[in-house]
Structure formats: structure tokens, C-alpha cells
Amino acid sequence: MIKLLRVDHRLLHGQVALSWKNALDIDCILIAHDGVPADSLRKQAIKLARPADTKLVIKTVEDSIDAINSGVTEKYRLLIVVESITDAARLCRACAIQWVNLGGTTVRPGTRAISKAVNVTEDEAQTIRELAHEGVHVEIQMVPSDPVRDALHAL
């Protein structure tokens, strides 16, 4: 069962590994990213952040979609972490995920801040609008103790 789809440019780190894992009673974390599976250094760094009692799976976005749609992930209480709003939208659309948590996106050329840790381009803002129109709830929340903000209203 998917407990949360989270966008966080840092992927897995203490904040995700501990606060979200504990708040949602996660037993498996899926990192869905096209570059990480082939990047041994980054993959090793991510593995170091994994809580000892939590399964960690690192797959490309397409392989993640295939795994979710096959039903193999249903036995887990799953946290999916992606690096970008674009990847989150791909997963939502391909896997019928109806909830996205925006935890952090980095400042890049052409971005504007919509919260303390979330920066979006106009294309990403449009993707959020489209997801909302498609019935996906997109929220902003860095850690579980923070108040939840509707991303559509932050745009």
C-alpha cells in the first residue's frame, strides 16, 4: 500500500528516513529516479540513510511504475520518493496515485518559491495545476509536524 509519494530533491535523508517513516509506519522506501540506479556513489549514499528496519528499493521511474502496477509493492507500507514534480506526475498518472507531498525542490534558474523549501518553474506550477484538475491532491509539508498547505493555493 502506498502511504506517501513525496517529492524531495535530496531523495533519502534523515528527515525522510526518520520523521516520515515513523509518522506513517513505513516498512519500505522506494526511490524512483532515472539516474540513481546507475550511479553507484549516489546509490551508496542513499543506502546509508536507510533505517535499519526498513527495506530500500532503488529503481528507475519506469521500473517503479511497472513494480507498482504489478502489485508486488502491495505487501509493503510504501513511501515513494522522487526528485522532481515531473517524476511525481508520471507516477500519479501511470499508477493512479491521488496524493503528492512536496517536501523540497531546489532553487534553479527560473524558479520561484511557493514555500520555505519548495521552488517551482512555471512548467512545474502548470503540472501541479493539471494534477489538481485530474483529482490529485498536491500538498506542501516538509515534516509531519508542519501544517499541511495545499500547493494549488500556494501558486
Phi, psi angles (nearest 5°) of residue 136 = -90, 130
Q: Residue 121: its pLDDT value, please?
A: 98
Distance CA 108, CA 105 (A): 9
For the domain made up of 2-154, give the CATH fold.
Answer: Fructose Permease (3.40.35)
- Mean pLDDT (the chain, rounded): 96
Domain boundaries, the chain: 2-154
Query: Looking at the whole model, is its pTM more than 0.85?
Result: yes
Interval 75-101: pLDDT, tens: 999 999 999 999 999 999 999 999 999
Residue 118 is predicted with a pLDDT of: 98
pLDDT value at residue 133: 97
What is residue 39's three-state secondary structure?
A: coil
Lookup result for grid cell 518553474: 121
- The 10s digit of each residue's pLDDT in 110-150 is 999 999 999 999 999 999 999 999 999 999 999 999 999 99
Contact 83, 58 (CB under 8 A): no
Find the catalytic residue in 9, 13, 137, 153.
13
| Residue 52 confidence (pLDDT) | 84
**Cα-based distances in Å from 136 to 5, 21, 82, 132:** 11, 22, 16, 5
Catalytic status, residue 13: yes
Task: Decide if 103 contacts 4 (C-beta within 8 A).
Answer: no
Q: How far apart are CA 82 and CA 141, in angstroms?
A: 15
Nearest residue to 65 via CA among 82, 51, 42: 82
The tens digit of pLDDT for each residue in 7-58 reads: 999 999 876 788 999 999 999 999 999 999 999 999 999 999 998 899 999 9
